[in-house]
A and B are shown apart, each in its own frame.
Chain A
């Protein structure tokens, strides 16, 4: 399949408000049952091991108008929550057995309660991830939490997973995540060959379709990108930070690139690339997963970073790809991103790394203001840095 065809097919997966492709899987033979995952990371390993398809949902984007959810969620609540709820209230998620909400923020937490009341009979679980990094009790507790989730999902699927089931899933997800990492590495090495507007749709669809079906698509795309010999343009090298939950539209990502930026690294779709190490393929799988979540997850605004804070990790991330600057691209009303910004800004300023901050909403339709800011930022670096 050509790269253009892969991008086009992947784009269809996440731009269809009726989730036609997922419905086809549900109505297929054998039927595939699925669970929606609210960002950022939700233990998709447990979902898959219990025989269900985990589907990363990033709201309704520009696909839906918020007609019903507005009466249930105030205007100061982030757009992704309101459009996700709108998708539910308009029966577009009725192909799903339910939703899982991770402990990323108070909105996600309360969304689990909204879901339970408005969609009785469906799964609506809140997953608590420990934030006490030094306690000897955190890993056993998280294992207990994962076991609880396994029991809930097993009731839905009728499948009680064995250790071997878990290890097969870990292996598949390790390979899937490694392929994503390779795409990021290819982009960091030669961003002129791997534009974000091509890579992003492919990565995003990977959180929706069966992973074994998606993996060859990534590998094929990667081969094409690696074979490309595009010429580097006079652009600045940036990393994008703050878009780990609600996603900017592809048009906004395109605006960033068109304004003169090569995006070397970012935190888009972060939950799909949650681990810094592959999952171990032996031993007690739930204990291993719990330990991995506590010890090998990527730094993010939704997980306590420990005594060093997140600033050092962000500076390291920028330095690793020789970035000229950091773009703080934050969803409007996203509390974790907005709180972190105040501290991360200090960290990059202390290292004399130029930065630009702007907010977006998934339903944003015009990009001129962002384009002007970005072009000014690019020029200030190209001309004066």
Chain B
């Protein structure tokens, strides 16, 4: 890239690293300061509602993925299995339980115990079992924020009102716990910043429509999305997205992309294999592959589909956001979204990464492959490993499948086949 001639390159990755480091520093210091800590999940999280009561926020999924990427997940998973957890359940859960029983010293810093567990289970029933376990191990109060599944194509007003009602009840609980009064002005102000950050994020995601793409909407997006997932309700969040958009603008201006020469554009479905993230990416990079859209980058909110926090409708928009997270969508909605991505982002094919840990993602993916290959005539690569458990990553097998797929796509290009999504 020749970074030295550019002002902003590397900002997206480096700044989020710094900000996440600061976040963990704040978390580690919270117990000594007597400040409350809430645990919650990424999908449909209600950060702005909790931060105004002074809660520091811990996201156990983020801890788990960081353990994965820093290659410490294996030991914690084994620890949890010693405690009775099966080899067939989610590696994130086992990582977290194993870490807890190993002193909670994560590679990012020491995790504070929760003052409150908020189980906002949007799109994943395993969250319920996960937080039931944490409630028992930490002896901490557990609040279920019950988010109904988006069963039909449109939002059900009854579902939204149900979540809104629970949010108001949670506010009352936080007031009782912290002795602080809920501040609607601050809530609206925080949501205004969040919405602006969401606008920037959508601009970044949509930059991948350009050919060649300046941004990898999977392998880079998983880092770029982090502040929007964990720093909402903190000034760093908007600051980050302004800076990250600066990097993308500069890439567009100078024709910089995530690979030296873009040869293939793909849409990716499913989470990455965190313990082998780099080597997995390299398997694609060597073919000049750019992920132009991904579903994993939407688990924390489908902002590119119009979802926004709205200070004019603070509780309603937060409830809608909770429901409109990717894995909380029914399979038909997910399938239509992937197809639109293939068409709108001029993809050459689909890559489905099926992970054993996450049935919420994976059940239905094999059927999706059938539809994409046989009905939509979109070349589709189906890969299997895991998001957390390093034992399920078979590098040679994955490489063979990836190589074979892109060899096939190369041939398809040579004979002049159309882009994916364009039915021949």
Chain A residues with a Cβ under 8 A of chain B? 71-74, 76-77, 81, 103-107, 109-114, 116-118, 125-126, 128, 130-138, 140-141, 144-145, 148, 301, 304-305, 307, 309, 311, 332-333, 335-336, 338-343, 345-346
Among the listed A144, A145, A338, which residue makes an inter-chain contact with B89, where contact means beta carbons less than 8 Å apart?
Answer: A338
Interface pair B146/A135, CB less than 8 Å apart? yes
* Contacts known (A128-B151, A137-B162, A332-B88); A116 close to B331, Cβ less than 8 A: yes
Question: Which residues of A are found within 8 Å of B86, using beta-carbon distances?
Answer: 338, 341
CA distance A318 to B365 in the complex (A): 41
B132 touches A343 (CB 8 A): yes
Given the complex, which residues of B lie within 8 Å of A104, measured CB to CB? 125
A114, B133: Cβ atoms closer than 8 Å: no
Given known A-B contacts A135-B169, A335-B129, A116 and B332 have beta carbons under 8 A apart: yes
Hey, what's the 0/1 contact readout for B206-227 against A, CB within 8 Å counting as 1? Answer: 0000000000000000000000
Judging by beta carbons under 8 Å apart, are A110 and B129 in contact? no
Say if the beta carbon of B178 comes within 8 Å of chain A.
no
Of A112, A148, A335, which contacts B126 at CB under 8 A?
A335
**Inter-subunit contact B158/A144 (CB<8 Å):** yes
Residues of B within 8 A of A311 (CB): 136
Tell me whether B133 and A339 are in contact (CB under 8 A).
yes
Query: Range of interface residues on chain B?
Result: 35 or more
B interface list, Cβ under 8 A from A: 80, 83-86, 88-90, 93, 97, 119, 121, 124-126, 128-130, 132-133, 135-136, 141-146, 148-149, 151, 158-159, 161-162, 165-166, 169, 330-332, 334-335, 354, 356, 358-360, 362-367, 370-371, 384
Give 23 pairs: A residue, B residue, CB < 8 Å, sorted on A: A72-B367, A76-B356, A77-B359, A103-B149, A106-B124, A110-B331, A110-B359, A112-B330, A113-B334, A114-B364, A118-B367, A125-B151, A131-B119, A131-B144, A134-B169, A141-B148, A141-B159, A144-B162, A309-B135, A342-B84, A342-B133, A345-B84, A346-B136
Q: Which of B83, B144, B169, B364 contacts A304 (CB 8 A)?
A: B144
Complex contact A110–B360 (CB within 8 A):
yes
Chain A residues contacting B97 (CB-CB under 8 Å) are 342
Known contacts A74-B363, A135-B146, A304-B144; 20 further A-B pairs (Cβ under 8 A) = A72-B367, A74-B365, A106-B125, A110-B364, A112-B151, A117-B332, A128-B151, A132-B143, A134-B143, A134-B169, A135-B166, A137-B161, A137-B166, A141-B158, A141-B159, A304-B132, A307-B141, A339-B133, A343-B133, A346-B84
Closest chain A residue to B87, Cβ basis: A338
Find B148's partner among A128, A339, A341 (CB 8 Å cutoff): A128
Contact check, B128 vs A131: say whether CB atoms are below 8 A apart: yes
Across chains A and B, the number of contacting residue pairs, with CB separation under 8 Å, is 162
Q: Are B84 and A341 in contact (CB under 8 A)?
A: yes
- List chain A residues, Cβ under 8 A from B159: 141
Q: What residues on A are CB-neighbors of B360 within 8 Å?
A: 106, 109-110
CB distance from A308 to the nearest CB of B (A): 10
Q: Which one, A110, A111, A338, contacts B85 given CB within 8 A?
A: A338
- By CB atoms of chain A within 10 A, which of B83, B86, B356 has the most? B86
A262 to chain B, nearest CB (A): 26
**Nearest residue, chain B, Cβ from A344:** B84
Q: In the complex, what distance in Å separates the CA atom of A346 from the CA atom of B133?
A: 11
Asked, given contacts A113-B364, A132-B145, A135-B169, whether A106 binds B384 with beta carbons under 8 Å apart, the answer is: no
The residues of A that contact B365 with a CB separation of less than 8 Å are: 74
Complex Cα gap A58–B73 (Å) = 36
Bound CA–CA A130/B367 (angstroms): 29
Judging by beta carbons under 8 Å apart, are B136 and A131 in contact?
Answer: no
User: Is the beta-carbon distance between A336 and B129 smaller than 8 angstroms?
Assistant: yes
Who on chain B is nearest to A105 by CB?
Answer: B125
Give the residues in chain B near A141, CB-CB below 8 Å: 146, 148, 158-159, 162
Nearest-Cβ distance from residue A324 to partner chain B, whole angstroms: 21
Smallest beta-carbon distance A72→chain B, Å: 4
Q: Assuming the A-B contacts A106-B124, A132-B146, are A73 and B359 also in contact, with contact meaning beta carbons closer than 8 angstroms in the complex?
A: no
Neighbouring A residues of B356 by C-beta, 8 Å: 74, 76
Residues from chain A with Cβ under 8 Å of B359 in the complex: 77, 105-107, 110, 335
